[in-house]
Amino acid sequence: MFPDWFNSRPIRAAVDNALEWVVKYWGGALEAAAHPLLILLNSIERFLLAVPWWVLILFFTVAAFGATRKAALPIVVFVSLIFLGVMELWEDAVKTMALMVAATLTAIVFSLPIGILMARSALVRRIVMPILDLMQTLPSFVYLIPTVMVFGPGKVPALIATIVYAAPPLVRLTDLGIRLVNPNVLEAATAFGADRRQRLFGVQIPLALPTILAGINQTTMMALAMVVIASMIGAGGLGYQVLQGIGRLEVSRGLFAGLGIVALAIIFDRITQAYGKQLQARIGVTGEVR
């Protein structure tokens, strides 16, 4: 047994009390602060549900064709979406899609500036890196419970948990992409008198874009991986169906909803990846001039 050097109970109690204090005095303020997230998620969900099913199918099929210029991916996308509809999973799939899109958009808004700051300052990188490691390795239930205590069960904590889990790769890849920009190109821009803003928006971000896009792809995938857990605290959608399937020992319900999640993953992954490749080809294979 590890010797009982000191009593850790006060520390635990302090943490618990602190959370209770936050819930009591800051709960309302935090909820108000997170309200825009709810508005974002609800409007995306409402929009996607208002759009006729065939328009959505058409949109994704055309997007797949635009990304690859081949028949294979559009066919896969088309069949996957028809599968979701036929299996009566359309509404759930759209809700899951809305959660994923909302989480990804929010992650982009936060991650890009943080990634850019990291690329510019070694100090910022030293501070942010361990936080990212923590976000990716801390079991999600650990922060899920406090989030639910603060915001109450519902879509907001689900969305926040999804963002916490899904944002780190985008931050990392934004930082990496900007640091990997060919220094010769950057030097040329400086020599012609470009200021920091002109270098950032005219050179660094465009050249880092393929890497940033890979980060967005990662974020969408990780957001999808969170949907089952998110459904435990009030997010509906395919995750909720899986959860119910488990709860009721209805294998078929869990299986088909699970396959639905896979279908969504394939659609978003392949389309974003194909656009990333297109972008890379446009600026040369490695983004480097030789």
Partner 1 sequence: MSAVIEAKNITKIFGESPETAVRMLEQGSSKADVQAETGQVVGLNRVSIAVEPGEIFVVMGLSGSGKSTLIRHVNRLIEPTAGEMWVNGRNVLELNESDLRTFRRNELAMVFQNFGLLPHRSVIDNVAYGLEIRGAEKAERRKKAAHWIERVGLAGYEESQPHELSGGQQQRVGLARALAMDTDILLMDEAFSALDPLIRSGMQDELKTLQRELNKTILFISHDFDEAVKIGDRIAVLNDGAIVQCDKPENIILKPADDYVAEFVRDVNKARVIHVGSIMEKDIETPCDHNVVGAASCEDVLPLFAEHDWVGVTDEFGQRIGRITAKRVIAALARHAA
| Residue 59 C-beta: closest distance to partner 1, Å | 27
Rule CB under 8 A: say whether 188 interacts with partner 1: yes
The residue type at 47: F
| Strand, coil or helix: 43 | helix
- Closest CB to partner 1 among residues 9, 197: 197
The residue type at 1: M
* Region of 64-72, 83-91, 225-233, 280-288 interacting with partner 1 (CB under 8 A): 280-288
Q: Are 96 and 238 in contact (CB under 8 A)?
A: yes
Using CB under 8 A as the criterion, what x/- string covers residues 148-187 for binding partner 1?
Answer: ----------------------------------x-xx-x
- Closest CB to partner 1 among residues 203, 216: 203
Rule CB under 8 A: say whether 194 interacts with partner 1: yes
Backbone angles phi, psi at 132, to 5 degrees: -65, -45
- Closest CB to partner 1 among residues 49, 194: 194
Using CB under 8 A as the criterion, what x/- string covers residues 231-270 for binding partner 1?
Answer: ----------------------------------------
Q: Which residues contact 220 (CB under 8 A, 6 or more apart)?
A: 100, 104, 166, 268, 269, 272
**136: its two tokens:** 């990716």
Selected binder of partner 1 within 41, 150, 207, 274 (CB under 8 A) = 207
| Residue 170 C-beta: closest distance to partner 1, Å | 20
| Residue 208 C-beta: closest distance to partner 1, Å | 10
| Residue 112 C-beta: closest distance to partner 1, Å | 18
Rule CB under 8 A: say whether 206 interacts with partner 1: yes
Using CB under 8 A as the criterion, what x/- string covers residues 111-150 for binding partner 1?
Answer: ----------------------------------------
| Residue 287 C-beta: closest distance to partner 1, Å | 6
**93: its two tokens:** 């799939």
Rule CB under 8 A: say whether 284 interacts with partner 1: yes
DSSP symbols for 79-94 = HHHHHHHHTT-HHHHH
CA 8 to chain centre: 36
| Residue 216 C-beta: closest distance to partner 1, Å | 18
The residues binding partner 1 (CB under 8 A) are: 182, 184-185, 187-195, 198, 202-203, 206-207, 209, 282-285, 287-290
